[in-house]
Each structure stands twice: as structure tokens, then as C-alpha cells.
Amino acid sequence: MAQSSTSPFFSLEELKNLKSTSETGGLEKVVPLIQRKVNELDNTELNIAVTGETGAGKSTFINTMRGLRKNDKGAAKTGVKETTMEPTPYPHPNLPNVCFWDLPGIGSMKFPANKYMEKMKLKKYNFFIIVSDTRFTENDAKLAKEIKQLGKNFYFVRSKIDNDLNSLKMEGVKFNTDEELEKIRKYSVSNLKQAGISSPSVFLILNFKVNEFDFPALKETLANNLDDIKKQVFLLSLQNTTLEIIEEKRKELVKRIWMLAILSGAVGAVPIPGLSFACDIGILMTAIIDFRKYLGLDDASLQRLTIMAGKPVEVLKAEVKTPLVGEISVEFVKRMLVGSAVDAISVAEAVLNFIPVIGSLFGAGSSFLMTYKLLNDALNELTENAQRVVKAAFGTD
């Protein structure tokens, strides 16, 4: 049986192991198994390598993917000179486990092609973005072949695509934008195929125009080619620029809710007075704070979005209408628990039957159900607020 899109990050084998462990050793024996999986989610690293020739727009691309401009704290240095002399890490401002690495361009005097592979230690990266602002070179193709031998994915990005279109305008040429873009894409693909790259993925982008050209398709492709946990990490690192991104984040966070609810339910079953309630509070407080950060509703994320959208931060903050963005205190969460208790019990059968193996471990009055119900409600409320912010930022219908 395959996992459903909303099931936790457990394989069928792992779910059966949870059940048998609880039957033979009690639910307290399940706690470390679940905690290990939660820790795996929290500690998974994603290292993304970005390379290309000097001036191709690597650093600007890295900044764009992290929602930063060149003068922001932590931004990658940009310029026409070679500013990258060694692999330089740029962690995501909200998720430091997601790190973009600015690699020197292959084929320069300092990094000739025959030494590049060894010096760059390519094995450490999860996938590669090869950037060019004109045409992809023989060295780009050579690098792609080396990456393929390592069993890793690579993607070609043509940056500054507006330069091609502006040249036609300046020459007074009448053209259809979509047709010209398709010509550029086919030309790039053809050159790479001639260099020995079969079925190359080429994306045409303009840095900072995150909802235009192939930028949305690039982000979707990168996410879909990652395994389950790394896919979640990557999606949660994306800036909220479309309603589709917010919906994908919501789906991934529902999976995390299952994980946290199982952990809460397992710890809550341990017969130690006060442990269940204390654990629920800690899980709930941390999760709500994380959710609003992942959904771009914290002050820092909203400030970065104003730069990308060109809208005053006050306009975006006016769309945030939930107490969940305020202080998340113990008393605040206790009030939420009391308010959710009756509703949680009323939906017990539907929730517990959703994943039968897990449902068999917990009862209708369990900490599992309370945590699931409260976090699911909080996620839906935060999602609605994030959607309003994006609509205000980009005029999305």
C-alpha cells in the first residue's frame, strides 16, 4: 500500500513496526522511533550547487531563491568580476539547513576544467544549477557529464533572458515573445545535445521576476525531482510568490502534523502525571511558530516579500488577521486546547480511520487527536492569511 499524499513520512513497513512495537512494549517504546523520524525531518540538509561563467548571474540567482537583494544581510556578492574564488555557502534565512553554494565558474584560469571536478568536491551537493546568460559552453556540458556520472541531477538556466528580447526591440524587429523564447530554448537544447547531453532541462529566467518566464516551472521541477523529505525541505524554503506554492507547503505541513500528533499521542500514553499536557504544549507552541515562518507570515519574511513585490510592508501586514502571528505563550495554547477539545472528540472516528495502522494505536480522547485537530486548524488559518498576503503582493486572483 502506497502512502497517501497526507500520510506521515513512514513507509508501510515502518508503520507496521510502530504497531508491533506498541503491542509488545507499550506506546512508551514507540516514542524513540517517532522522535528519530521527527529529528530526521528537522535535520535534513539540502545543498544546492550553482555554477556558471563569470557574470552569468549565479549570485543574483542565489539571492533571488532566498528572497534577498545584493545589499541585504547575508546576500551573495554580485558583480561582473569573478567574485567567487572557492565554493561559498549561503544558507537560507529561514531554513539554514537549505544551503545554496556559489561555485566558481568552470574553465577559468584558476579553475581549469581538468581540475574543477576534484577541487569542487561535487559529491557533497544534492543537485546542480548551471547558469549562463548567453549560450552554454563545452565546459558546461563537460561538467554536466561529470555530474551525471555521480548519479545527481543538473539543470541549465539561461538567465537575463530580457537581454535577448530587448535586443530585438532595439533593432525594431516585430516578434512574438513566446515564439522567441521557444527559439532560444530550442537553440540551447540543440547545442547541449550536440555536446553530448541527452534530454537537457533548460529554463529561461529573469532574476527577481519570480513569477515570469520559466521561473515557476524551474521551482516545480526542482521540488518534484527530490525524495519525500528533501522535497518538503525545499518547498518550505521557497518564498511565497504564488498560491500554488502556498498550497504545496500546506500539503507538506499536513504530513508534519501527523508526525507531531503521533509523537504527542505516544508520549501522552506514558503513565507519568503531567507529562502528556506538558509535551502537548511544547509541541504545539513550536509547531505554530514554525508554521507561520514556513508560510512567510513572520516579520522578516514579510519584509523580504515587500522587496520582491514592490509593495509597502504595511499593505502586506494588513492582510494578516490572525492571533497566531502574535505571542505564542503557554496560556495562549492552553486556551486553544480547551476550545478544541469538544470538536476533536466529534471527529475522532474519521481521523483515526484515515490511516488504520496509526488509528489502532490511539483512542478518541488521546493526545494524538487533540494535537492533530489543533494543529490542523492552526495550519488552515495561517494558510488563509498567507494566501491573502500573496494576492495583495502580486495581484493574484
CB 257 within 8 A of CB 372: yes
pLDDT score at 228: 81
pLDDT score at 338: 72
Domain edges within the chain:
12-42+240-394, 45-234
pLDDT score at 282: 85
pLDDT score at 286: 92
C-alpha cell at 325: 502571528
CB 295 within 8 A of CB 246: yes
**DSSP-derived pairing of the beta strands 127-132 and 153-158:** parallel
Q: Is 283 exposed, middle or buried (0-12, 13-18, 19+ CB in 10 A)?
A: buried
pLDDT score at 352: 53
Q: Give the span between the Cα atoms of 323 and 286, in whole angstroms.
A: 15
Sign of CA dihedral 166, 83, 125, 150: positive
Q: For residue 207, which amino acid is it?
A: N
pLDDT score at 381: 97
Class of domain 45-234: alpha beta
Q: Give the span between the Cα atoms of 207 and 205, in whole angstroms.
A: 6
pLDDT score at 1: 31
- Angle, helices 243-268/275-294, rounded to nearest 10 degrees: 170
Tens digits of pLDDT across the chain (397 residues)? 334 444 556 777 777 777 788 778 766 777 787 788 788 878 899 999 999 887 888 999 999 999 998 888 899 887 655 555 788 999 999 999 999 999 987 766 677 767 777 788 889 999 999 999 988 988 899 899 989 999 999 999 999 998 888 888 888 888 899 999 999 999 999 999 999 999 999 999 998 889 999 999 999 999 999 988 899 999 999 999 999 999 999 999 998 888 888 788 776 655 555 555 556 788 899 999 999 999 999 999 999 999 888 899 999 999 999 999 999 998 888 888 776 655 555 554 455 555 555 555 665 556 777 788 889 999 999 999 999 999 999 986 5
pLDDT score at 355: 54
CB 291 within 8 A of CB 385: no
User: CA dist 50 to 32, 120, 274, Å?
Assistant: 37, 11, 50
The pTM (predicted TM-score) of the whole model is 0.86
pLDDT score at 79: 66
Q: How many CA atoms lie within 13 A of 273 on its CB side?
A: 0
Report which of 165, 122, 168 is spatially closest to residue 147, judged by C-alpha positions.
122
CB 280 within 8 A of CB 264: yes
C-alpha cell at 355: 490511516
